[in-house]
């Protein structure tokens, strides 16, 4: 049936080098956050996908979407519907070829973020299925820039919390309107541009908190880049 589905399409678990959440903790937050599902998008890893499938069987009322956030040479890319992680740290164009060959979905993650964003030039022309326009760990102006580019290009606009802790799950999300009976339907809607990003950006005080947490996380992993 046609309905509007609200999903958090950018969530990290303990399988990310900067993540700590168990997947069960994420599922527990969905009802509290008012979303009907989430995409697991760990950095350069699909190690959490087997557990995600177990949880999908146990919680059929939610949509649990396999994804990955891959590090390209130019910035981060969200990939949905691939059964494996793309090779990391390759050129964006090469990674997009890899994604298309597997009929997966490509979305530029936080393209205007100073660290790990691809920047305006690639946001304007990279052949992707969508652009993340509402990232829960971005300032409002950063998200607004991405929203303008997505609207101008006519590609899918998505939203995700970029959560690394339970309290942040669902603070930004994607709304999709259409017939949804399986995860493939969600991927099809993203491919067709039938989505919009929404949610909360970071306030100034929250930006300080997130910056501090990010610095501590980098120090804990020996300042290794993701």
Q: Delineate the domains of the chain, giving CATH numbers in brackets.
A: 2-220 (3.20.20.140)
Q: Which three-class secondary structure state does DSSP give residue 97?
A: helix
Question: CA 194 to CA 42: how far, in whole Å?
Answer: 24
Residue 205: what pLDDT? 85
Q: What is the pLDDT of residue 90?
A: 98
Q: What are the respective helix, strand and coil percentages of the chain, to the nearest 5?
A: 35, 25, 40
**Least confidently predicted of 149-153, 169-173, 202-206:** 202-206
At residue 210 the predicted structure's pLDDT band, cuts being 50, 70 and 90, is confident
Largest CA distance in the chain: 49
Q: What is the CA angle 172-113-81, rounded to 5?
A: 55
pLDDT band at 5 (very low <50, low <70, confident <90, very high): very high
User: Residue 218: pLDDT band by 50, 70, 90 thresholds?
Assistant: low
Evaluate if residue 44 carries a pLDDT over 70: yes
- Output the pTM of the full model: 0.93
């Amino acid at each position: 049936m046609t309905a509007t589905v609200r999903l958090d399409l950018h969530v990290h678990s303990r399988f990310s080098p900067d993540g700590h959440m168990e997947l069960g903790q994420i599922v527990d937050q969905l009802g509290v956050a008012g979303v009907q599902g989430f995409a697991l998008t760990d950095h350069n890893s699909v190690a959490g996908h087997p557990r995600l499938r177990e949880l999908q069987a146990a919680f059929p009322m939610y949509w649990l979407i396999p994804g990955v956030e891959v590090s390209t040479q130019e910035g981060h890319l969200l990939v949905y519907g691939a059964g494996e992680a793309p090779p990391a740290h390759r050129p964006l164009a090469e990674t997009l070829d890899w994604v298309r060959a597997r009929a997966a979905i490509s979305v530029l993650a936080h393209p205007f973020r100073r660290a790990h964003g691809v920047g305006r030039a690639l946001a304007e022309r990279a052949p992707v299925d969508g652009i993340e326009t509402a990232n829960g760990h971005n300032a409002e102006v950063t998200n607004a820039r991405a929203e303008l580019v997505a609207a101008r290009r006519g590609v899918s606009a998505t939203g995700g919390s970029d959560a690394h802790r339970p309290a942040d799950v669902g603070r930004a999300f994607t709304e999709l309107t259409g017939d949804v009976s399986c995860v493939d339907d969600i991927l099809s809607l993203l491919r067709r541009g039938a989505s919009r990003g929404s949610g909360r950006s970071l306030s100034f005080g929250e930006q300080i908190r997130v910056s501090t947490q990010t610095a501590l996380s980098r120090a804990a992993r020996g300042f290794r880049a993701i």
